[in-house]
Structure 1
Amino acid sequence: MLMATTPATAREAERILSAAAVGAGLPETALAAAVLDASRGKPVPARPERALRQAVHTARTPDPAPSSASGPYLMPLREDAEKALGRFFETRLRLTAAPADPETRRAFEDSLFTLCILMAQPCASEALHEAVQYSES
């Protein structure tokens, strides 16, 4: 039910339900039954409803962005970041043209790894995003 109404993944819905149950002082099964009853038109008691609303709000509120001074890492030279981005986009185009070529895939993955190292990000999408932002600023 929570997955459909919030929208949330199964794991997020489970965390929301657990947090709401703790907030309402009820077992998770009782809160889940109240949510199910609500889908059938039966009103949910005030305390569980408040706890559920708070848990959904907390789950949907993004964490504050970390300050730029939070990481003790040095930024690369802008030219190096731009060169790594250029290599990434070049290898991505080559991979699109020849997806089965293992050498092209290796070059693409190497360019992603280079971006991750340069931007000190463990996730490739975050490294790419940060490199684009850094080169545009």
Structure 2
Amino acid sequence: MLLPAKAEVARHLERYRAWERLLLAAPADHTVRGNFENTGYTLCVLMGKRCAREAADAAEHYLRAGSSPARARRAQGRGPSRTVGQCP
């Protein structure tokens, strides 16, 4: 399995968190919301997740663990991730 470069994951996770903070500060701003959703989508693609929150969590674990997201979940006893349409 190909894994994304850690520098790319870190860069996109940082952007996602920055837009998240801006969205919390200005929830009615459509430009901010669009940028937040775009960065979330990019993170989903990078991490192979269907939900931005799951992708952000997987990115954080990937950067902390130094291994693949699937290996990090197995090491924590979580097993494989669910493939559902939306975050719980």
Q: TM-score, normalised by structure 2?
A: 0.69
Q: Any idea what the Cα deviations from partners look like across 1:64-99, whole Å, max 9, x if unmatched?
A: xxxxxxxxx411000000001100110011111111
Correspondence 1:74 to 2:2 = yes
CA RMSD after TM alignment: 1.0
- 1:57-136 equivalences under 5 Å are 73-136=1-64
TM-superposed CA distance for 1:110, in Å, is 0.6
Matched residues, number: 65
Which one has the bigger helix percentage? Answer: 1
SS at match of 1:93: helix
Q: Which has the larger radius of gyration?
A: 1
SS at match of 2:54: helix
Q: Any idea what the Cα deviations from partners look like across 1:25-60, whole Å, max 9, x if unmatched?
A: xxxxxxxxxxxxxxxxxxxxxxxxxxxxxxxxxxxx
Deviant stretches of 4+, over 4 Å: none
Structure 2, gaps ≥5 residues long = 66-88
Measure the CA separation in 2 of the matches of 1:85 and 1:108.
11
Q: TM-score, normalised by structure 1?
A: 0.45
2:74 is aligned to none
